[in-house]
A = this chain, B = another copy of it.
């Protein structure tokens, strides 16, 4: 039984003069009202309140902060940089504030937190509201927490994947076979992508690779590739690159593929949280949106990798396959050795140097990075239907050894806007073995943490170079790894962490 219909009340929505405050809060729109403003009194707004902010027909949801002092006049409202750029108030245009429409999908987030399985429509509603920037950062953190661990069921991951695809652009490429590869991460320095793309596209496959920036690692492929060529290409430039070379290695964020994934990643990074369900949705939504249909996934497994045990890899693989199947994606999953870092460098520029060393077939190139890249390239070649088994591997090896892959990589860099050389960090400090012994283990997580504390990936030259592998004999004073930083402060910070965790590179008790 409905209650009596309500009379229409005009919504009062006070008019205020906008003022650009210039504050960048890292993603969340913020509106600033003077303390004691009538909007606060009249509308009951307080700190953390969510507001609907409108200029003409443009509107957005913002979080309120209160401005003490006289920085704002009583009839002014301050706008954070992101809100200002989105609303673009013209001279003399006024701002209307109102209570925002209540975000109904938040009740689904709470239900998820309380253990309920969400329906497809509920997850779509959440993703649509996130895409429309209706979630505050606190609400995003709650959604991420609610989905963490194994809290998402398969159907929920499928729904999340589909909704994230639909939240942005979807690319289409000429040709029936579009290949792609992805590594679930967790292994410092495992920067095979630029090498794999160079090999496979040199052999004629179409591989329009979009990569992400680091979530919780010291470098993502996009961070590393940005050291060698522009990666923030728009769609038109990405298309021209792929038309000319058959491939590209660009940052997915600039071409609006599954943009909700980027919003979630921004908060996940601040919280240092990953979850299998969101990981699968994140990986596959980007691949589907990017228009690929044959995808190779590298899953490193090791005691301190992101995936620690074979059974976790199996679970993840099952989920990846099940979700991919629903979207008509052919998947090859390669479980790889995740015992220790790959290559020597950890951090954007340092990893870029390893990539160049392999492509240029330099004497000091990291052999493990080379062999992993070849194995993955072979899997992509097989998925792409060019060759199978050892023939595929031989094809990849010939392409790399002959210099074809290196020429192709240069062509891709040129097409993306011009190749460049990574710089070198000015502050470095070696961490040395305290006695003659043998390397027993390397802690990937703590090593990555040390690289992050040294400044990676925000300081792109920062990170570390690791000179030893598990099983290597070492002598007293021999450098185990060298921290690289762009400032003495970051170097000191990483050194402090390393001194508290002397077992990042664990030495045996015997000689």
Contacts and interface: CB of A to CB of B under 8 A. Distances in A.
A66 B24 contact: yes
A148 to B, nearest CB: 5
A477 B3 CA distance: 9
Given A68-B24, A146-B145, A489-B43, A9 B495 contact: yes
Interface stretch (A107-115, A278-286, A410-418): A107-115
A360 interface: no
Among the interface residues A3, A48, A480, which one has the most CB atoms of the partner chain B within 10 A? A3
Given A1-B502, A22-B69, A488 B434 contact: no
A451 B145 CA distance: 29
- Tallying the copies of this chain within the complex gives 2
Contacts of A235: none
Contact of A23 (B67, B115, B145, B486): B67
Contact of A142 (B266, B273, B488): B273
Contacts of A71: 21-22
Nearest to A137: B138
Interface stretch (A25-33, A86-94, A157-165, A224-232): A25-33
Given A1-B435, A44-B487, A490-B43, A139 B271 contact: yes
Nearest to A68: B22
Nearest to A485: B44
A298 interface: no
A44 B273 contact: no
Interface stretch (A325-333, A385-393, A503-511): A503-511
A57 B48 CA distance: 31
Interface stretch (A181-189, A401-409, A455-463): A455-463
A98 interface: yes
A432 interface: yes
Interface in A442-470: 453, 455, 458-459, 462
A354 interface: no
Given A3-B498, A497-B102, A499-B5, A488 B12 contact: yes
Contacts of A367: none
Contacts of A144: 142
B139 A142 contact: no
Given A12-B487, A148-B114, A273-B142, A459 B44 contact: yes
A336 interface: no
B3 A149 contact: no
A480 to B, nearest CB: 7
A363 interface: no
A504 B493 CA distance: 57
A54 interface: no
Interface residues on A, range: 35 or more
A230 to B, nearest CB: 20
A307 to B, nearest CB: 13
Among the interface residues A44, A71, A136, A499, which one has the most CB atoms of the partner chain B within 10 A? A44
A35 interface: yes
A471 interface: no
Interface in A96-121: 98-99, 102, 106, 110, 113-115
B6 A488 contact: no
Contact of A27 (B47, B69, B491): B47
Given A9-B495, A499-B5, A110 B44 contact: no
Nearest to A145: B145
A4 B433 contact: yes
Given A1-B506, A25-B65, A271-B139, A44 B486 contact: yes
Among the interface residues A26, A48, A110, A489, which one has the most CB atoms of the partner chain B within 10 A? A489
Nearest to A493: B99
A13 interface: yes
Interface string A41-60: 11111111000000000000
19 contacts: A3-B431, A3-B502, A6-B431, A10-B488, A22-B68, A23-B65, A24-B66, A25-B47, A26-B48, A42-B487, A44-B458, A45-B458, A98-B489, A110-B272, A113-B148, A113-B149, A136-B270, A138-B270, A142-B145
Given A26-B65, A44-B486, 13 more contacts: A1-B507, A10-B492, A12-B488, A21-B71, A24-B47, A26-B48, A42-B487, A43-B487, A44-B462, A99-B453, A99-B490, A113-B149, A145-B145
